[in-house]
């Protein structure tokens, strides 16, 4: 049953916290999913949330804390002593524990690790703290099940039973040699169906896909998407098995990257969180607003060069917003598609020129439809034939050029290892405004012989 997040329940819960009604709090949250409890805690202040957390089972409390977003988690953990946090650490995977501690001051972090009773858990966390959070080593968890290639099925089953409490989800058993080098994997189905004294060497699969610990997190996500993996083992340069990355960690990476790209395409120079201060939000938004303002001023000065043409044909001014808006929209559409496609490594492969041809064909169809509709509208509303032709020809040209620019610009930025999301939003809009004006007045000069 999903916990009902209503105004009435929140008021009742706050009253229960104030009156220290432990029975109501435990009863209302008993059996609820940690994610649903988290949504309730977001509505409470830190002191109230801490009181509720202390009443819940340790495994539930640990999962709730590890699932909180970064800023909320950092603020919330300030309410915990090192001993309290050390009690929760064994109930979360080692990668989540390392993420929790990585955000803490060094002294507090060392105090927590020193208070962890399980030496193996503490060692796992210490090892993971050495990795950057944006690489495979920073994503991996140490909890996994491995079997020596010389073992029998019986020995492997005993190992599964021994580690069952530590490993929440068992997808397969990794096979290693005497030096802990990863050789392959064996599925649980094969283990169950095999005879007791069958050797692992006879039933394991050696066509396993692994990732080195130094690989970028985006590269890991791409591999898991490409090969449709639920988990991927992590090895060091020598091929020794270090840990594994599960799909839930990769989903977080994909989500974060999508949010970052979306913000950059919207003109934010740095990630912006909901609870950021006024100055922080302004600082994130201002750079691209200034660039957009500069582009607008440049566009105004550029249009000023054709002031004499506008005086001769004042009606031309009416269609300037149409030209610039269409070019900007087409450019953003094209760049957005390319930015999404660039996550696929094969995008810049042999099919690149085929994709460019496709972009041109799509642009030709869109340009023909738009320019024809605008031409008919102008004729039916009484505009001069010559002006209708200028606007339609200019629109046709702008759609083609803006589409090409929106396609090529992200690819060029990607080639120079600059985030291609920068190609969208203010950059493309401003550039296409200038391009549209140049094309519009160029066509007018040609048809009017100005």
CA 141 remoteness from chain centre: 20
Encode pLDDT of 256-271 as tens digits: 776 666 666 555 555 5
In this prediction, residue 276 carries a pLDDT of 57
Encode pLDDT of 51-73 as tens digits: 999 999 999 999 999 888 777 78
Q: Look at residue 310 and tell me if it is in a domain.
A: yes
In this prediction, residue 253 carries a pLDDT of 80
Same-domain pairing of 45 and 93: yes
Same-domain pairing of 33 and 130: yes
Give the single-character DSSP code of 214. Answer: T
Contact 406, 330 (CB under 8 A): yes
pLDDT band at 182 (very low <50, low <70, confident <90, very high): very high
160: domain CATH number is: 3.10.580.10
Encode pLDDT of 120-165 as tens digits: 889 999 999 989 888 999 999 998 999 999 999 999 999 888 877 7
What's the number of domains the chain is made of? 3
Contact 185, 208 (CB under 8 A): yes
User: What are the beta bridge partners of residue 175?
Assistant: 147, 184
Q: How much is the average pLDDT of 402-422?
A: 79
In this prediction, residue 349 carries a pLDDT of 55
Encode pLDDT of 364-374 as tens digits: 999 999 999 99
42: domain CATH number is: 1.25.60.10
Same-domain pairing of 195 and 337: no
Phi-psi region of 75 (alpha: psi -120 to 50; beta: other; left: phi over 0): alpha
| Structure-token pair, residue 111 | 């105090």
Same-domain pairing of 129 and 18: yes
In this prediction, residue 396 carries a pLDDT of 95
Domain span including residue 212 = 146-255
Of 135, 169, 197, the domain-final residue: 135
317: domain CATH number is: 1.10.357.20
What percentage of the chain carries pLDDT values higher than 70? 86
What percentage of the chain carries pLDDT values higher than 90? 36
Highest-scoring range by mean pLDDT, 5-14, 341-350, 410-419: 5-14
Q: Look at residue 141 and tell me if it is in a domain.
A: no
| Structure-token pair, residue 142 | 């140490």
User: What are the beta bridge partners of residue 185?
Assistant: 174, 205
Cβ neighbours of residue 318 under 8 Å, at least 6 residues apart?
none
Of 105, 135, 165, the domain-final residue: 135
Q: How much is the average pLDDT of 11-19?
A: 91
Same-domain pairing of 230 and 288: no
Q: In whole angstroms, what is the distance from residue 376 CA to residue 378 CA?
A: 5
Q: Look at residue 72 and tell me if it is in a domain.
A: yes
Encode pLDDT of 420-430 as tens digits: 766 566 677 77
- Reported as type and span, the H/E element at residue 148 is strand 146-148
Same-domain pairing of 299 and 396: yes
Same-domain pairing of 338 and 432: yes
In this prediction, residue 170 carries a pLDDT of 83
Same-domain pairing of 334 and 444: yes
Same-domain pairing of 183 and 224: yes
Q: Of 169 and 323, which is predicted with more confidence?
A: 323
Same-domain pairing of 49 and 122: yes
Please report, to the nearest 10 degrees, the dihedral formed by the alpha carbons of residues 419, 423, 425, 428 taken in order: 170
* DSSP letters for 90-144: GGS-HHHHHHHHHTS-HHHHHHHHHH-S-HHHHHHHHHHHTS-TTBHHHH-BS--
Of 135, 162, 182, the domain-final residue: 135
Q: Look at residue 262 and tell me if it is in a domain.
A: no
On average, the pLDDT of the chain sits at 84
Same-domain pairing of 150 and 130: no
Q: Look at residue 260 and tell me if it is in a domain.
A: no
């Amino acid at each position: 049953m999903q916990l009902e997040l209503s105004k009435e329940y929140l008021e009742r819960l706050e009253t229960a916290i104030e009156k220290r009604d432990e029975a109501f709090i435990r009863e209302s949250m008993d059996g609820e999913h940690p994610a649903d409890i988290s949504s309730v805690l977001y509505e409470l202040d830190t002191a109230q949330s801490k009181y509720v957390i202390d009443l819940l089972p340790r495994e539930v409390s640990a999962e709730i804390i590890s699932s909180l977003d970064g800023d909320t988690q950092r603020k919330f953990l300030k309410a915990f002593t090192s001993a309290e946090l050390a009690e929760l650490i064994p109930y979360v995977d080692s990668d989540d524990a390392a993420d929790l501690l990585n955000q803490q001051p060094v002294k507090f972090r060392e105090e927590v690790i020193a208070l962890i009773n399980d030496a193996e858990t503490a060692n796992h966390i210490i090892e993971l703290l050495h990795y950057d959070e944006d690489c495979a080593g920073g994503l991996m968890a140490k909890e996994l099940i491995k079997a020596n290639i010389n073992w029998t099925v019986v020995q492997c089953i005993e190992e599964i039973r021994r580690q069952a409490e530590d490993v929440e989800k068992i997808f397969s058993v990794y096979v290693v040699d005497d030096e802990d080098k990863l050789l392959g994997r064996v599925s649980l189905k094969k283990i169950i169906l095999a005879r007791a004294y069958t050797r692992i060497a006879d039933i394991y699969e050696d066509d396993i896909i692994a990732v080195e610990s130094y690989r970028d997190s985006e590269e890991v996500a791409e591999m898991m998407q490409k090969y449709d993996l639920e988990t991927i083992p992590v090895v060091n340069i020598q091929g020794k098995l270090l840990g594994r990355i599960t799909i839930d960690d990769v989903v977080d990476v994909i989500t974060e990257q999508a949010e970052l790209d979306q913000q950059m395409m919207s003109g934010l120079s740095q990630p912006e969180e909901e609870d950021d201060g006024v100055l922080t939000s302004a600082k994130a938004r201002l750079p691209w607003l200034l660039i957009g303002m500069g582009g607008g001023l440049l566009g105004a000065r550029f249009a000023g060069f054709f002031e004499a043409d506008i005086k001769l044909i004042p009606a031309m001014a009416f269609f300037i917003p149409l030209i610039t808006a269409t070019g900007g929209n087409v450019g953003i559409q094209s760049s957005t598609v390319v930015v999404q496609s660039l996550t696929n490594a094969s995008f810049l492969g042999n099919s690149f020129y085929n994709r460019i041809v496709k972009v041109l064909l799509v642009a030709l169809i869109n340009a023909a439809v738009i320019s024809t509709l605008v031409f008919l509208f102008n004729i039916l509303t009484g505009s001069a034939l010559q002006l209708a032709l200028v606007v339609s020809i200019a629109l046709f040209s702008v759609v083609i050029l803006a589409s090409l620019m929106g396609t090529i610009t992200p690819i060029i930025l990607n080639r120079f290892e600059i985030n291609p999301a920068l190609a969208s939003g203010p950059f493309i809009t401003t550039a296409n405004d200038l391009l549209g004006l140049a094309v519009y007045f160029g066509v007018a000069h040609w048809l009017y012989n100005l």
